[in-house]
A and B are shown apart, each in its own frame.
Chain A
Amino acid sequence: MALTHDDVCRVARLARLRQDEAQAQSMLTELNRIFALMEQMQGVDTTLVEPMSHPRDVAQRLRADRVTESDRREQLLPLAPKSENGLYLVPKVIE
């Protein structure tokens, strides 16, 4: 199952990665070499095997419903490239 140029453009858009045509071309070549490697998996019979998401089979631990965090705005907002009036600023969002 080889990727197409369209696949590479679609995936780059989904991942929000700008690429020019030359980058798209070389990405396509590299990805197809990598995906050729992955084809090895397809020959393995896994019909009765459950997918494994975690290395250990344990259940989620729950946190008591307590407010433990205090106001961090003074520490965190200055990390932002652009902020004003306590808000993070981004190019206009159109709904």
Chain B
Amino acid sequence: MNWETVIGLEVHVQLSTHSKIFSGASTAFGAEPNAQACDIDVALPGVLPVLNAAAVDKAVRLGLAVGATINPRSIFARKNYFYPDLPKGYQISQYEIPVVQGGSIDILVGEQPKTVQLTRAHLEEDAGKSLHEDFHGMTGIDLNRAGTPLLEIVSEPDMRGAAEAVAYGKALHALVRWLDICDGNMQEGSFRMDANVSVRPAGVATLGTRCEIKNLNSFRFLERAIDYEVRRQIEVLTDGGTIRQETRLYDPDRDETRAMRSKEDAHDYRYFPDPDLLPLEIDEAYLAQVRSSMPELPAQKRERFTSEFGLSVYDANLLTGSREMADYFEQAAAGLGGQAFKLVANWIGGALSARLNDEGIEITASKVSPVALRALVERIVDGTISGKIARDVFDAMWSGEGQVDEIIERRGLRQISDSGALDKLVDEVIASNGSQVADYRSGKAKAFNALVGQVMKASKGKANPQQVNDILRRKLDTGV
């Protein structure tokens, strides 16, 4: 039987605010345990929540960026359950009326474009952390993370395999960073994915029973967890079994998912509107203000990069992978024209990306600034150096040897385009490579390339290759 996989993602995005969603405690990562858990986060008797304006702002940004409806009136609700990392015994979340409803995200699966519909995005608070190292058989609770603002972004079950889920996850990750609403740090848990996975026989319209795999904090784990879970479900169904709706955890060491024991009880969260918080009202004036402060979105930028700079769709996509990279490109391309844009794109996608990868640094920390890259491209365009020599110059710039022109001068890398000097070099090579000249003249075309190589070598790479070609061919063919 052929099986179809159906996946929906729930992504918990930690919003990059300074203070928590309902208290004035810091959200900075890595503090001593419980040093950033204030009276409100610890849920002392008598404390009350007040909503952080920046969390609302960031949620609205995401909503506008995905073309969603921003509810003019959304409600905070209490989700009631007992857990030691949940100090109040309830999580403040949004239930019936979330701040963001609908919207969609365009993804590329390989070369295939696809649109994933979003169900909603709602504001809520994060829980603390349970530390399972052994404290005489007990668990330690750190509430520093309790109350950190989260935006839970829920997709429709639109994805049909791990590859699509990963493409969606990556697109969303890029978007939240682009909007500057989340630092995107997956190791620190700033972007956590839950995957709802089900399978059904191909052609069947109804959805199969789903399992939710919780807390996937890398795209690799997302992919592997889905692949495992799909295999498991198909196996169960093929053996005549049924899938139990449950919450599962992915164990990267064993590369498998298992049912969570603590979630086995059927939950009854007893949601109701939080009486400590009033309806969140968002009016048109506020929306207009947020809209006007929104950065140009990746899709808009891609469109402009192809139309304004004549870049290919591939290059435009690459350069809009992050806002920082797009900014780098625009700064490097400023004032250039025509073919130079393509060159800048190639340099960013090639040498620069390779260097950044090698050193594991972000483009904002690049040792060659956009202005410096522009100067380099200008020297290629005006014929001062060849593309090949430019690689050496780039490496020298990266090592901090100075500006483009300084390096060219100091190392004497200026391209030789003076035809008198080139004539002389070519004559010398013809004179000292008699057998190859004879080979060429007897019809062996390959010998020509070897002779060009000899000239380039004699010029230490600085000869203008096009001119060398022309002069050599003229001299060999006509003897003049």
Question: Do A and B come into direct contact in the complex, CB within 8 Å?
Answer: yes
Instruction: Report which A residues bind B (CB closer than 8 A).
Output: 14, 16, 53-54, 58-69, 71-73, 76-77, 82, 84-95
- Quick check: A72 and B39 within 8 Å, CB to CB? yes
- Residues in A with CB closer than 8 Å to B54 are 65
Cα–Cα distance between A9 and B95 once the two chains are bound (Å): 27
Q: Which of B24, B32, B280 contacts A63 (CB 8 A)?
A: B24
Q: Is A62 within 8 A of B51, CB to CB?
A: yes
Main secondary structure of the interface of A (DSSP, over half): loop
Query: Is the Cβ of B139 less than 8 Å from the Cβ of A76?
Result: no
How far does the alpha carbon of A22 sit from the alpha carbon of B140 in the complex, in Å? 36
Shortest distance in angstroms between A60's beta carbon and chain B's nearest beta carbon? 4
Which residues from 1 to 58 on chain B have a C-beta closer than 8 Å to any C-beta of chain A? 17-19, 23-26, 32-40, 42, 44, 50-56
Q: Total number of A-B contacts with CB less than 8 angstroms?
A: 129
With beta carbons under 8 angstroms apart, the residue of B33, B262, B278, B279 that contacts A93 is: B262
Interface size class, chain B: 35 or more
Task: Determine which of A65, A87, A92 lies in contact with B33 in the assembled complex, contact meaning CB atoms within 8 Å.
Answer: A87
- In angstroms, how far is the closest chain B Cβ from the Cβ of A35? 17
- In the bound complex, what is the Cα–Cα distance between A16 and B18 (angstroms)? 35
Whether A86 and B273, one on each chain, are in contact in the complex, defined by CB atoms closer than 8 angstroms, is no
Interface membership of B84, Cβ < 8 A: yes
A sample of 6 cross-chain residue pairs with beta-carbon separation below 8 angstroms, ordered by A number, consists of A60-B51, A60-B277, A66-B18, A68-B24, A91-B137, A91-B139
B169 CB to nearest A CB, Å: 23
Distance from A87 Cβ to chain B, minimum over Cβ atoms (Å): 3
- Taking CB atoms, residues of chain A closer than 8 Å to B55 are 65
Contacts of A89 in B (CB 8 A): 135, 138-141
How many Å from the CB of A94 to the closest CB on chain B? 5
Nearest 3 CB-CB pairs, A to B?
Answer: A68-B24, A87-B140, A65-B54
Q: Is the CB of A95 within 8 A of B249?
A: yes
| Complex contact B37–A59 (CB within 8 A) | no
Main secondary structure of the interface of B (DSSP, over half): loop
Give every chain B residue within 8 A of A64 (Cβ-Cβ).
53
A59 touches B33 (CB 8 A): no
Using CB atoms, name the residue of chain B closest to A65. Answer: B54
A73 adjacent to B37 (CB under 8 Å): yes
Inter-chain pairs besides A69-B39, A72-B37, A87-B141, 4 sampled, C-beta below 8 Å: A53-B273, A60-B281, A66-B24, A67-B19
Contact between A71 and B278 (Cβ–Cβ < 8 Å)? Answer: no
Assembly CA distance A63 to B83 (angstroms): 28
Whether the pair A67, B280 counts as a contact (CB closer than 8 A) is no
- Nearest chain B CB to A52's CB is how many angstroms away? 10
Q: Which residues of B contact A84 (CB under 8 A)?
A: 135, 140
Q: Smallest distance from the beta carbon of A82 to chain B beta carbons, Å?
A: 7
